[in-house]
A and B are shown apart, each in its own frame.
Chain A
């Protein structure tokens, strides 16, 4: 079966020996139904053990293997080589983040920004006897908001995270909006303060790169727009009528 070969053109970089990233090509025998991640694993096991990449669940749930594959940000585990319709697969790490080695980027600034928007429920009242209930309509607001796996594809695709290192970015603002939209959350004021700064929602120029890049087909652009509207609603009231 393994007579067809695919060329993997992978960006390599080792900070200890290399000054600049370079591309190295590997020939991988193609098996039916092979994903890009399986190809990478094949290279690591059979050709070059020094290649470094992140992966874990192999099922598009953990969000570890987000990378730039043939012109777009995708999850390596969910990308079928056959669907790419190309004999050469060019793989680069996520952009706008410091490369630690090969396809592994430093996500620490990402998690720092993530923590800064308080990505957890702030109910503001004592715990009730039973669960916090939501109506069907209130739950509808969260459809498509709770499915983000934080793979960082939108963050890398966004042009603004590249020019403004302090900009929170689509993934973080998406998470902030997920809680701003939750009927059980009572910290909207705080969330607007945390995201409505000069490096927050106002750096978004509605380019839609994040929406196009999202492997889960979510809509970070829409979430940022929602935060902008909430911010404007509150901000204009404060400007016109003082504290409310």
Chain B
């Protein structure tokens, strides 16, 4: 067997994003579920996302959680010892899906920052 940097970095980043998510989810839950009260409206979210710091935080959280979720799901399939060709296709498929999902969420976030749909 050959050492696989791809497997190593995937595994390592899953742990790193996991630790970052502990911090990120703490802030996310503290602010949005424990401090904020009443039901959320478009205006409340736009007021929060007017701050560049909140936009930066949310984009980071989005990227990190998408990596963690997509690699986690891919990992469950990788555990099944698929054919190398199938595995490679799945790697690309999940990678592209993750990137598309990130941009979808990114555009949704910017809608709140600019108060109008960006597209």
- Could you tell me the dominant secondary structure of chain A's interface residues? helix
- Interface of B, helix, strand, loop or mixed by DSSP: helix
Q: Check: A195 CB closer than 8 A to any chain B CB.
A: yes
Are B80 and A164 neighbours in the complex by a CB distance under 8 Å? yes
In B1-45, which residues have CB < 8 Å from any A CB?
Answer: 1-12
Which stretch, A38-46, A61-69, A230-238, touches the partner chain B? A230-238
Q: Please determine whether B2 and A193 come into contact, CB atoms closer than 8 angstroms.
A: yes
Set of chain B residues within 8 Å of A166, measured between Cβ atoms = 81
Given contacts A164-B79, A228-B11, 14 further A-B contacts (CB under 8 A): A165-B81, A193-B2, A194-B1, A196-B1, A197-B4, A197-B7, A202-B10, A202-B11, A203-B79, A231-B8, A235-B3, A235-B5, A235-B9, A238-B5
Whole-angstrom CA separation of A196 from B11 in the bound complex: 11
Interface residues in B, total, Cβ within 8 A:
16
Residues of B within 8 A of A (CB): 1-12, 78-81
A239 touches B9 (CB 8 A): yes
The residue of chain B having its C-beta at the shortest distance from the C-beta of A159 within the complex is B79
Please tell me which one of the listed residues B3, B9, B11, B79 contacts residue A160 in the complex, with CB atoms under 8 A apart. B79
A193 to B78 alpha-carbon distance, docked (Å): 20
22 CB < 8 A contacts A-B: A116-B1, A160-B79, A163-B79, A163-B81, A164-B81, A166-B81, A195-B1, A196-B1, A196-B8, A197-B3, A199-B81, A200-B4, A202-B4, A202-B7, A202-B8, A202-B10, A203-B78, A205-B79, A232-B8, A235-B8, A238-B5, A239-B9
A194 to B4: give the CA distance in the assembly, Å: 10
Compute how far the CA of A167 lies from the CA of B1 in the bound complex, rounded to whole angstroms.
Answer: 10
Distance between Cα atoms of A192 and B5 in the complex (Å): 11
Chain A residues within 8 Å of B80, by CB: 163-164
